[in-house]
Amino acid sequence: MSDSTQPRALWGSRLGFILAAAGSAVGLGNIWKFPYITGNNGGGAFVLIYLVCIALVGLPIMMAELMIGRHTRRDAVGAFISLEGRRSPWQLAGWVSVLAAFVILSYYSVVAGWTLDYLFRALQGSFSALPDTAPSQVAMQINAMFEGLEKNGLRQLLWHFTFIGLCLGIVIGGVQKGIERWSKILMPILLGLLVLLFINGMLSDGARQGLEFMFRPDFHKLTPGAVLEALGHAFFTLSLGMAAMITYGSYLSRQENLFDASLRIALLDTGIALMAGLAIFPIVFSAGMQPGAGPGLVFKTIPMVFSSLPGGNILALLFFLLLAFAALTSAISLLEAQVAYLIDERGWGRKHATAILAALAFVVGIPSALSSNLLAHLTPIGELGVFDSIDLIASNYLLPISGLLTALYVGWFWSGHEEKEELLAGGSGWIYPTWHFLIRFVAPVAVGIILYYKIEEAGLFAYIKDLF
Average pLDDT over residues 446-460: 87
Which residue has better confidence, 344 or 467? 344
Residues 163-192 pLDDT 10s: 999 999 999 999 999 999 999 999 999 999
- Helices 399-408 and 91-123: crossing angle, nearest 10°? 140
- Give residues with Cβ within 8 angstroms of 149, minimum separation 6: 114, 117, 155, 156
Average pLDDT over residues 55-69: 96
- Give the model's pLDDT for residue 219: 87
Residue 379's pLDDT band (cuts 50, 70, 90): very low
State what percent of residues in the chain have pLDDT above 70: 92
Which residue has better confidence, 295 or 102? 102
- Give the model's pLDDT for residue 129: 60
> Domain 14-467 belongs to what topology?
Hydantoin permease (1.10.4160)
The mean-pLDDT minimum among 137-146, 198-207, 321-330 falls in 137-146
State what percent of residues in the chain have pLDDT above 90: 58
- Give the model's pLDDT for residue 398: 92
Could you tell me which of 446, 415, 454 has the C-alpha nearest to residue 67? 415
Q: How far apart are CA 168 and CA 216, in angstroms?
A: 43
- Give the model's pLDDT for residue 135: 58
Q: How far apart are CA 399 and CA 403, in angstroms?
A: 6
- Give the model's pLDDT for residue 212: 92
Calculate the alpha carbon distances from 263 to 115, 254, 255 in Å: 29, 17, 16
Domain ranges in the chain are 14-467
Q: How far apart are CA 5 and CA 338, in angstroms?
A: 19
Residue 280, pLDDT > 60, answer yes
Average pLDDT over residues 55-73: 96
- Give the model's pLDDT for residue 3: 42
Residues 77-127 pLDDT 10s: 999 999 999 999 999 999 999 999 999 999 899 989 999 999 999 999 888
Average pLDDT over residues 46-62: 95
Residue 266, pLDDT > 60, answer yes
Calculate the alpha carbon distances from 65 to 74, 97, 340 in Å: 12, 11, 15
Q: How far apart are CA 207 and CA 278, in angstroms?
A: 8
Residue 295, pLDDT > 90, answer no
Residue 39's pLDDT band (cuts 50, 70, 90): confident
Residue 265, pLDDT > 80, answer yes
Question: Does the pTM of the predicted model rise above 0.85?
Answer: yes
- Give the model's pLDDT for residue 461: 75
Mean pLDDT of the chain: 88
Encode burial over 6-42: b for 16+ CB neighbours within 10 A, e otherwise: eeebbbeebebbbbbbbbbbbbbbbbbbbbbbbbbbb
Q: Which secondary structure element, helix H or strand E, spans residue 86, and what is its range?
A: none
Residues 188-222 pLDDT 10s: 999 999 999 899 889 988 999 999 999 988 888 88
Which residue has better confidence, 388 or 392? 392
Average pLDDT over residues 291-320: 78
- Give the model's pLDDT for residue 130: 55
According to the 3-state scheme, what is the secondary structure of 3-14? CCCCCCCCCCCH
Q: How many helices (H) and strands (E) does the chain have?
A: 24, 0
Average pLDDT over residues 334-341: 98
Residue 223, pLDDT > 80, answer yes
Q: Are 161 and 362 a contacting pair, CB within 8 Å?
A: yes
- Give the model's pLDDT for residue 156: 92
Residue 372's pLDDT band (cuts 50, 70, 90): low
In 3-state terms, what secondary structure has residue 249? helix
Q: Are 410 and 249 a contacting pair, CB within 8 Å?
A: no
Residue 252, pLDDT > 50, answer yes
- Give the model's pLDDT for residue 374: 47
> How many Cβ atoms are within 10 Å of 270's Cβ, its own excluded?
23
- Give residues with Cβ within 8 angstroms of 225, minimum separation 6: none
Secondary structure letter of residue 39 according to DSSP: H
Residue 247, pLDDT > 50, answer yes
- Give the model's pLDDT for residue 109: 94
